Amino acid sequence: MKYKEFKDKIQKYPIFSSSHLPALTDNEQVLRNQLARWRRQGLVLRLKKGLYVLNKEDRKINPSRPFIASQLLSPSYLSTEYALSFYDFIPERVEDVTSVTTKKTTTFLNDFGTFHYQHIDVACFVGFKETKDDNGYPFFIAEPEKAIVDFLYLNLFNFSEDDVNIFRESYRFQNLSGLGRQKIKMFAKVFNNKKLLNVVHSFCEFMKAE
């Protein structure tokens, strides 16, 4: 198969995987060999093993990083630093895409950036919603309150249980008035971690003072 023929068939997909190949050809192994050659030529970019996207000039759809994050590892949802920036709870623009997953902690690096996934227990894998990117493709992201709790839990070693000032001075949390303190405490309880509950209590006191 010529690259142009392959490109014309695959352009309608924002991302494609090895599972698409059998439907495109009668000789899958030959196409796999061609795919490897097109990768070396920069015509096809690998997001991870078995997951690809056409090069920038040839793809019709430029997939968003949130959508890519949802495709790289499932189940997962955007949370922690990336979600905090998404909701404008911190002033910094976060470059790396951060998610949580019930699978093991891992990181993917590709042409679209760095994608971090941190493990949480299945019982804690709650409090997220589906939304759509500018292309209309779905991705999962933590609810605002759950993004806060995930961040506090996965960074507990940075917090003491009675230090309220750290939220303002070290992390510069902002725009918290719309958050539900009871909802934050509810999400914290699913982690069954005493220190987290105490840190969340301090965070809620910080919210009241803002």
List, for residues 51-75, the tens digit of each pLDDT value. Answer: 999 999 999 999 999 999 999 999 9
Say whether both 170 and 114 belong to one domain: yes
Look at residue 60 and tell me if it is in a domain. Answer: no
Q: Are residues 49 and 100 in the same domain?
A: no
| 104 and 28 belong to one structural domain | no
Which of 12, 29, 54 corresponds to the end of one domain? 54
Checking if the pLDDT of 94 tops 80, the result is yes
**Cα torsion angle, 167, 168, 169, 172, sign:** positive
Mean pLDDT score across all residues of the chain: 95
Which of 40, 85, 88, 49 has the alpha carbon at shortest distance from 65? 85
| Total domains in the fold of the chain | 2
CA atoms of 111 and 100, how far apart (whole Å): 21
Name 180's Cβ contacts closer than 8 Å, sequence gap at least 6.
Answer: 145
Position 69 scores a pLDDT of 98
Tell which wins on pLDDT, 158 or 162. Answer: 158
- Residues 48 and 135 placed together within one structural domain of the fold: no
Q: What is the reported pTM?
A: 0.94
pLDDT at 20 over 90: no
Phi, psi at 133, each rounded to 5°: -85, -175
CATH of the domain at 184: 3.30.460
Whole domain around residue 35: which residue ranges?
3-54
**Which amino acid would we find at residue 147?**
A
